[in-house]
Every structure is written in C-alpha cells, then in structure tokens.
Amino acid sequence: MVAGFLLALREGLEAALIVSVALGVLQRARLQSLRWLVWLGAASAAVVSLLVGGGLAAAGAALEGTAEQVFEGITMLLAAAVLTWMVFWLRAQGRGLQSGIEADVSRVAGTGQRWALFSLAFLAVLREGIELSLFLVVIAMQSGAESTLLGGLAGLAAAVAIGWGLYTATLRLNLRRFFAVTGTLLVLFAAGLIGHATHEFVEAGLLPALSSPIWDTGRVLADDSPVGLILRALFGYNADPTLSETLAYLAYLVTMAIALLRPTPLRSAASQG
C-alpha cells in the first residue's frame, strides 16, 4: 500500500501540476472559457490510462507458469527503465519544470488553436497516467491488488489536494526538493524491480541462479510480514535472494550512483567560473 501511495502521489502530482498550471495561465489570460478543454484532455487521458492498466493486469492474470514469470519479469524491467528515464528527465529539467509548462500553455493558448490545448493536456497527463498504471500493475504483482489499489487511490487523492492548493496559491511546495527526494526513492524502487525481474527469469530457467540462496533472513523478517511486504514493494526486499538477483540489484544501484553523482556539464562550468 505504501509503495502504491508514494508512486501515485508522485505521478499524480506531476499531472496535477500540469493541469493547475494550465488553468492558472488561462485564468491570467482571461481565457476561462477554454478551461473545459484542459479538463476534457485530462479526463480523456485518465480513461485511456485505466484501460491500459486494466489490459496489462488482464494479460498477466491470463498467463500461468513460465509464461507468467517471463511476463512479470519483462514488465518489471520495463517499469524500471521508465523509472530510470524519469529520474534523469527531472534532473535535466531542474528549476525550469513549472516555467516550461507555463510557456507551453501560453504559446498554445495564444495561437487560438483550441484543440491544441486539449492535446497538450491529454498528452501530458497520458504520459503520467500510463506510467502510473504500469507501476501499479507491477506493485500489485508483489503486494496484492487490493492494497495496491487502496494506496494508489490515496496517493492520487493527496496529489489532487496538493494540485488544487497550487492552483489557488494557498500552498507553497518546493517542487524541486519534492522531486529530488522522490527521485532517490524511485532509484531504490527501480533497483528492487531489477532484482525481482532477475528472480523471475531465474525461476523461468532463463538465467542461472549462480547460488541460491546466499542468505536467509526469513526468521527475522519474513517476506509476507507487514514490514516485509512494505520493504519488498518499495526496495525489493527478499529474505532468500539468489546471487544473480543480488548482483543485478547492486549493479543497478552502483551504475545509477555513478551517473547521478557525476556533476552535469552545466554545474562543472559554473564551478570553474
């Protein structure tokens, strides 16, 4: 439930930020009559995202045995790839995330092309919605559908509340710090997905275990205990991992640490100046 809440909050907040900024720009430009296009675009994207998520869940439920393990492994790898892309994308956007959204909305609203405003809201929210659908399906594979759904709904509700606060200017949220903190959590979550995907491929016979298990902490903290389920969903905890999944987990974390801790060209130039 916790993992579903955090991911839904983060993805939902990005979508809420896009909608709130778009509505704010239209308000300042006295184009309130066009707000329905933003809402229609966001609602349409939400419906498509639900259909995508339902399709993925149905596809996974229809499979059994090795096919199910391979499907889950591939889905987890895909989710990890999307999470990794998100981390680097937000790192590149930096401070200009909100101003960039404002510029896009102002440009589209100024052209008089009303349906371009719909497309902007639809595509922006659709990206977040499909990503969230993929993540929730993956979490449900590990923690169960009911708890994941409850956590996701709670996260989306919190995101809507924060988005409304941003729109009405009664809430001051340091978006850059928020995304930096959640970005770190996303790296750990992606590492867990890499480990779980490797585990599924080992179970399917596509990868060697190398050594199984390399330790067993099940007596101290079982996978199916309340704390174990949270750690499993968030950080990929496994009481009795194979050497293959442990190496995959650590290799991803080390690679991401090197990539993220390395100064960007902009920061390097600034430090030299």
pLDDT for 206: 93
pLDDT for 102: 72
Q: Report d(CA 230, CA 221) in Å as an integer.
A: 11
pLDDT for 270: 40
pLDDT for 171: 52
Contacts of 136 (CB under 8 A, 6+ apart): 4, 7, 8, 53, 148, 149, 152
φ, ψ for residue 138 (rounded to 5)? -65, -45
Cα dihedral value 59, 60, 62, 64, nearest 10: 150
The dihedral through the CA atoms of 80, 81, 84, 90 has a sign that is negative
Which residues of the chain fall short of a pLDDT of 70? 1, 93-98, 109-114, 169-176, 263-273
Give the three-state DSSP class for 179: helix
pLDDT for 265: 53
pLDDT for 97: 64
